[in-house]
Amino acid sequence: MYLFLETLDKIFLLESRQDLEPIFYSQLFKKILNPEKEFLFQKSKTQPLSHEEQLIIKAKPQNLKSTLPDLHDTIERGINYVFQSDPTKDKGIFAKSIFKWFTQDMEFDHKGNVTKKGAISLPEDIQTTQTILQNYMQYGKKLQLPKPINTNHPSELSGPIKNYLKTLQTNNDDIYHDLPLIFTYGRSKIYKIDGDYHEDNCKRWMSNTDWCVQYPNMFKEYGPPFYMIVDNNQEKFLFHIPSLQFKDANNQYHKEKWEDHKTVVDYMIYDLEDQGKIEKIKLETDPLIDDGGYLDLDWVDVPKIFKNYEPFIDEWIHKNKNKSKYEKFLHMNFEDVPEELKNKINQQKIDKSKYERTVRWVLQHDLPWKRVPEELKYDHDFQRKWSIKNIDEYNKITYMDWNDIPYEEWIENPEFREMWMNRNPKRFQNMLNMKHEDLPREWKDDENLLHYKKNMKI
């Protein structure tokens, strides 16, 4: 990282796109490929590399277009986005500042995936970045703002400018006179932005913010409705349900601000659910609403806002179907089952009878794994029965290299992982030597692997 920043320091005096492009290219090349090269270098000590992996090891900026054309195109697009974000375009006056915001905090894993984004995301924030820099050119000197190149985040410029522009507004309520008010709580108001995009309205409603959805392409990309909370001091927050984003005016997520508004947003969601106006909430990946906890609660402790929301019910049952907190409902008198679960419990009893008939039919006909019905494949009890009946095919699967096993339903089964571990001691040893973050996803929380790793450290 420090070498990366030193290199940026050296290029700050350059201005033209022609000068900057090759340096940007080289820096993005290193950012993306260095973690992967390091991983493959370590891998080459214990096993041969594939042809594609050897190309990655040998790749250099000057030969990337011919050896890894997809990566070359990705880097070229990134550089184009940087210059598109600069209101001076190809003059490149702000290009090095934008490149710094875009890449300084960006991190990649050994597969070339982004694990941490920069201060801005491109192309998503192209128009937002343009506006911030245009405002900087207009107000920067008056407000004695730092030079963009000396900042780590564009909000260091946009924040003071927004505060200044607020002082010029005489009647703030007028801005929202034609925007539906969902309700008021305390001194805060929640407005709903819905329907088609209208530039004048969106920019007026979302004035003094860095939200990308005030521009037409990202408004359509994310899709309404958007819920805007306006505090009594005119501080704004945007909540978008499908993408589960809660951002302040600087387009940043602050946990303490979420906690301030979380309760009212929960009830807003519940109110909208009752009206049937929410299409989707991805609770299984929700860092805000679920916060990793609601799916683990006993049903009696689940907040009311989720008990009547079918996707949550399905997710809760799926996660707890083999645990006592759900199993107890299957053995209750039906009238004692919680009302929200009755349909699911009744359906499961029907499904159970159908399931038992299907298992008998599959085992009697000795089906290969590829022909097993999908509804059985993830059932660990059925896997156990099938492996006994089809021992030869099962043995072939257990002796495969882990990354070559084509069946996700097997690798998710802890019993299968234990069998594979016992039958492939050398391959398992390689896993023990891997860093935790580099392990295949299904092994990261595997009790056997964690036990052996702990003993190795001792």
**Would you say residue 31 lies in a domain?**
yes
- Mean pLDDT taken over the chain: 79
Are 315 and 397 members of one domain?
no
Handedness of CA 209, 210, 215, 221 (dihedral sign): negative
**Predicted confidence (pLDDT) at residue 281 exceeds the cutoff of 90:** no
Are 396 and 333 members of one domain?
no
Residue 414 pLDDT grade (very low, low, confident, very high; cuts 50, 70, 90): confident
**Would you say residue 353 lies in a domain?**
no
Average pLDDT of the residues in 253-264? 63
CB-CB neighbours of 301 under 10 Å: 10
Is the separation of the CB atoms in 237 and 248 below 8 Å? yes
Q: Which residues does 168 contact at the CB level (< 8 Å), separation at least 6?
A: none
Is the separation of the CB atoms in 329 and 341 below 8 Å? yes
Supply the pLDDT for residue 420: 92
Supply the pLDDT for residue 286: 40
Q: Of 215, 243, 274, which one is at a domain's C-terminal end? A: 274
Model pLDDT for residues 36-93, shown as the tens digit of each residue: 988 888 888 888 888 888 889 889 999 898 888 889 999 999 999 999 999 987 678 8
Are 43 and 120 members of one domain?
yes
Supply the pLDDT for residue 203: 87
Cα–Cα distance measured from residue 431 to residue 449, given in angstroms and rounded to the nearest whole number: 8
Model pLDDT for residues 188-200, shown as the tens digit of each residue: 788 888 888 888 8
Residue 15 pLDDT grade (very low, low, confident, very high; cuts 50, 70, 90): low
Q: Of 241, 274, 307, which one is at a domain's C-terminal end? A: 274
**Would you say residue 21 lies in a domain?**
yes
CA distance readout (Å), 179 to 192, 344, 366 = 7, 40, 64
Q: Of 132, 150, 165, which one is at a domain's C-terminal end? A: 165
% the chain with pLDDT above 90: 18
Encode burial over 93-105: b for 16+ CB neighbours within 10 A, e otherwise.
ebbbbbbbbbbbe
Is the separation of the CB atoms in 214 and 182 below 8 Å? no
Are 12 and 160 members of one domain?
yes
Supply the pLDDT for residue 148: 93
Supply the pLDDT for residue 274: 42
Is the separation of the CB atoms in 80 and 93 below 8 Å? no
Supply the pLDDT for residue 345: 72
Average pLDDT of the residues in 417-436? 88
Residue 290 pLDDT grade (very low, low, confident, very high; cuts 50, 70, 90): very low
Supply the pLDDT for residue 163: 84
Are 16 and 146 members of one domain?
yes
> Could you tell me the maximum CA-CA distance found in the chain, to the nearest angstrom?
83
**Would you say residue 442 lies in a domain?**
yes
**Predicted confidence (pLDDT) at residue 279 exceeds the cutoff of 60:** no
Residue 262 pLDDT grade (very low, low, confident, very high; cuts 50, 70, 90): low
Average pLDDT of the residues in 18-36? 91
**Predicted confidence (pLDDT) at residue 351 exceeds the cutoff of 60:** no
The owner of tokens 């192209």 is: 126
**Predicted confidence (pLDDT) at residue 171 exceeds the cutoff of 60:** no
**Would you say residue 283 lies in a domain?**
no
**Predicted confidence (pLDDT) at residue 452 exceeds the cutoff of 80:** no
Average pLDDT of the residues in 405-428? 87
**Would you say residue 114 lies in a domain?**
yes
CA distance readout (Å), 9 to 106, 149, 445 = 17, 9, 42
Report the domain count for the chain.
4
Are 298 and 184 members of one domain?
no
Supply the pLDDT for residue 11: 41
Amino acid at position 114, single letter: V
> Is 437 or 185 the better-scoring residue by pLDDT?
437
Are 215 and 110 members of one domain?
no
Measure CA 237 to chain center: 20
Supply the pLDDT for residue 381: 82
**Would you say residue 238 lies in a domain?**
yes
Least confident span in 31-45, 258-272, 394-408: 258-272
**Predicted confidence (pLDDT) at residue 22 exceeds the cutoff of 50:** yes
Are 23 and 143 members of one domain?
yes
> Is 276 or 135 the better-scoring residue by pLDDT?
135
Three-state secondary structure of the chain: CHHHHHHHHHHCCCCCHHHHHHHHHHHHHHHHHHHHHHHHHHHCCCCCCCHHHHHHHHCCHHHHHHHCHHHHHHHHHHHHHHHHHCCCHHHCCCHHHHHHHHHCCCEECCCCCEEECCCCCCCCCHHHHHHHHHHHHHHCCCCCCCCHHHCCCCHHHHHHHHHHHHHHCCCHHHHHCCCCEEEEECCEEEEEECCCCCHHHHHHHCCCCCCHHHCHHHHHHHCCCEEEEECCCCCEEEEECCCCEEEECCCCCCHHHHHHHHHHHHHHHHHHHHCCCCCCCCHHHCCCCCCCCHHHCCHHHCCHHHHCCHHHHHHHHHHHCCCHHHHHHHCCCHHHCCHHHHHHHHHHHHHHHHHHHHHHHHHHCCCCHHHCCHHHHCCHHHHHHHHHHCHHHHHHHHCCCHHHCCCHHHHCCHHHHHHHHHHCHHHHHHHHCCCHHHCCHHHCCCHHHHHHHHHHHC
Closest CA to 35 of 118, 107, 119: 107
Asked if the bond preceding 225 is cis, omega within 30° of 0, the reply is yes
Are 309 and 181 members of one domain?
no
Are 334 and 401 members of one domain?
no
Domain that holds residue 61: 2-165
Are 338 and 386 members of one domain?
no
Least confident span in 164-173, 175-184, 368-377: 164-173
**Predicted confidence (pLDDT) at residue 9 exceeds the cutoff of 70:** no
Residue 100 pLDDT grade (very low, low, confident, very high; cuts 50, 70, 90): very high
**Predicted confidence (pLDDT) at residue 152 exceeds the cutoff of 90:** yes
Dihedral pair phi/psi, residue 193, rounded to 5°: -105, 115
Are 56 and 130 members of one domain?
yes
Average pLDDT of the residues in 286-304? 63
**Would you say residue 443 lies in a domain?**
yes
